[in-house]
Structure 1
Amino acid sequence: MTLNEILAHLWGGLPYAGGGLFVLLTLVQLAPIKVTPWSWLAKTIGKAMGIAAIEKKLDEHIATDDKRDADSHRVKILQFNNELLRSIDHTKEEFIEVLAEIDAYERFCEGHPDYPNNRAVLAIENIQENYKERLKKHDFLQEGEVRHE
């Protein structure tokens, strides 16, 4: 669709009305009256372009924040696994907390296949296996209990 057809459509479908509209808007722009349609149109387009730039920037910030959250979940998972490897006992509640971290981390990884996940896979497996073992034996660290091994 040409500019003339678009303007004709806006002018009620009259052929070549777009040219008339163009002339009319230009005359109004030049008239001593404070109505400035071209300036208004330029500002409107500028605002629309500015909004698009702001939306792009916001999307970038959200992506960065989501990645930072995933990194934080991974750090907690790796730290907890390190404590298990050093034979530090944990309560059932501590296991439940780290399992929630694992859930959040895995949800992020599913939605972001390009995110480097290999650093936590084995740690997650070890935590889950350890949790299953503690459930079977029913030997979680009890609140206030101190074990020395």
Structure 2
Amino acid sequence: MNILELFASGSGLLFLVLSLVEIAPIKVNPWSAIARALGSVINRDVIARLDDISRVQRDTQRRLDDHIKLDDERDADMHRAKILRFNNELLRDIPHTREEFIEILAEIDGYEAFCRAHPDYQNNRAVHAVANIKRVYAERLQKHDFL
């Protein structure tokens, strides 16, 4: 079959038209559209499975994010509990070493960093305790009368 016979039949003419449209600067790509249509038909089951996996993954990510948030809040609660307990000991005149003050100041730093990073976290329960611990530490540091 020569080229003239090919063009004489309808398939050759169709091939030529589709190829020219593909090359033309028009944004219509018939070969790409045909390939996409065939690909979506062939891969329908795979695409549906990927959609299911993607949905499950989003749900798992949401649950993980919720768990991390809860864990971080528990950690901040533990920092706050240590701060409040230390302040309570100061209010009851229980003496502490300089190292204990340094440790509680590190707890305060971690707690305050968490509060700055999470403005929705309820922070107002330890503000006065933190201020009192820092005040007492400054006094002890000035007087050199740690335990």
- Length-normalised TM-score, structure 1: 0.74
Distance 1:87 1:131 in 2: 13
- How far apart are residue 95 of structure 1 and its match? 0.4
Task: Note the C-alpha offset of 1:111.
Answer: 1.0
- The amino acid that maps onto 1:22 is A
**SS of residue matched to 2:33:** helix
Q: Which residue of 1 aligns with 2:13?
A: none
Gaps in structure 2 of 5+ consecutive residues? 1-21, 23-27
- Return closer, same or farther for 1:92/1:22 CA change in 2, 3 Å cut-off: same
Alignment-mate amino acid for residue 124 of structure 2: N
Distance change >3 Å, CA 140–CA 19, structure 1 → 2:
same
1:132–1:42: structure 2 CA closer, same or farther, 3 Å change rule?
same
More helix by share: 2
CA distance in 2, matches of 1:45, 1:127: 55
Higher-Rg structure is: 2
Cα RMSD, aligned residues only: 2.2
Question: Per the alignment, in what secondary structure is the counterpart of residue 117 of structure 1?
Answer: coil
1:134 paired with 2:134, answer no
* Match in the other structure for 2:64: 58
1:14 matched to 2:20: no
Q: 1:85 and 1:123 mapped to 2: Cα distance?
A: 10
Which contiguous aligned blocks of 4+ residues in structure 1 show a shift greater than 6 angstroms? Answer: none
CA distance in 2, matches of 1:24, 1:113: 49
Equivalent pairs, count: 122
RCO greater where, 1 or 2, for CA within 8 Å and sep 6 or more?
Answer: 2
- Among 114, 120, 132, the alignment partner of 1:114 is 120
Aligned to 1:38: 44
| Counterpart code for 2:62 | K
Report sequence identity in percent: 51
For the structure 1 residues 117 and 20, does the alpha-carbon distance in structure 2 shift closer, same or farther, using more than 3 Å as the test? closer
Matching residue within 98, 104, 110 for 2:110? 104
Aligned-pair distance for 1:48?
A: 1.4
The whole-number CA distance in structure 2 between the counterparts of 1:124 and 1:108 is 14
Please state how far the C-alpha of 1:19 moved relative to its aligned partner.
Answer: 5.5
Structure 2 counterpart of 1:55, one-letter code: Q
The structure-2 alpha-carbon separation of the partners of 1:64 and 1:24, relative to structure 1 and needing over 3 Å to count, comes to closer
Q: Note the alpha carbon deviations across 1:51-90, whole angstroms, 9 max, x for none.
A: 1111111111111111001100000000000000000000
Name the TM-score, length of structure 2 as normaliser. Answer: 0.75
Deviates more, 1:110-119 or 1:85-94: 110-119
Partner of 2:146, secondary structure, is coil
